[in-house]
Amino acid sequence: MAEIPLIGTREATVGGPIVRLLRCMVCNSWEELPDYEGPSNLDHLLEITLEKHKFPSGEPHVGKLFKVPEQTWQNKEQRKAVLDQLGGKASAGLDALDPDHNFYDTKSQFAEDAMSCYERHNRPQVGCTDYQSPEKRLLPNTAKERKSLGIESPENAPGPKVYLCSFCPFHSVAVTNDRMKQGLYNA
């Protein structure tokens, strides 16, 4: 088995794509997010993910965010070792109560939502009627807070424009078609 990097060290995140893991200590859940390097106030995917991790009072849950090499994360044995490492492996914890031992399984909510949309549209191969439409844009629900602080709305804020479509299998078809139109595949 390949050497598993010690999570939290610089060596663990150098030399390839990264996956971020959000650990909610209240929900006891793990969620996968794509990597993001930039100002935290423009990390819309993290903001959207955090929206559901709140108490009824509005107080946020306690959690941690980790970065893991994607190559390590895609290997099932290494993924388990990473989760053991991040979970402390002092005891099986709540995983021991789950007969299927998948209490600590991770969830990639954006990918699951994109797959549901892909299925609803009958797995398009040529074109998708709402590909990157305004309804598919991922925006945090922070309009009120931004207005009270005098910050522009998330729709107009600088930073990346992220759509649910980026997590859909059709996205690769759309990107390939766009590159063909630009002549990037011509030899």
Last residue of a domain, one of 85, 107, 129: 107
Q: Judge whether residue 109 has pLDDT over 80.
A: yes
Higher pLDDT, 89 or 73: 73
Position 150 in a domain: yes
Position 156 in a domain: yes
3-state secondary structure 52-115: CCECCCCCECCEEEEEEEHHHHHCHHHHHHHHHHHHCCCCCHHHHHCCCCCCCCEECHHHHHHH
Mean pLDDT calculated for residue range 47-73: 88
What pLDDT does 15 receive?
A: 64
Mean pLDDT calculated for residue range 119-137: 91
Position 46 in a domain: yes
Same domain, 23 and 103: yes
Position 2 in a domain: no
For residues 158 and 42, is the Cβ–Cβ distance under 8 A?
yes
Mean pLDDT calculated for residue range 70-79: 86
What pLDDT does 138 receive?
A: 87
Same domain, 27 and 94: yes
What is the model's pTM? 0.60
Position 131 in a domain: yes
Last residue of a domain, one of 107, 129, 156: 107
Same domain, 175 and 124: yes
- Give the confidence band of 1 by pLDDT, cuts at 50, 70, 90: very low
Pair of tokens at residue 162: 């992220």
Last residue of a domain, one of 79, 107, 135: 107
Q: Judge whether residue 44 has pLDDT over 50.
A: yes
Same domain, 27 and 88: yes
CB count within 10 Å of CB 139 equals 16
Same domain, 89 and 136: no
Same domain, 18 and 100: yes
Position 48 in a domain: yes
Number of domains the chain contains: 2
For residues 110 and 167, is the Cβ–Cβ distance under 8 A?
yes
Position 137 in a domain: yes
State how far the Cα of 180 lies from the Cα of 123, in Å rounded to an integer.
21
Range of the domain at 85: 10-107
State how far the Cα of 39 lies from the Cα of 28, in Å rounded to an integer.
27
Pair of tokens at residue 108: 């990639």
- Give the confidence band of 119 by pLDDT, cuts at 50, 70, 90: very high
Same domain, 29 and 73: yes
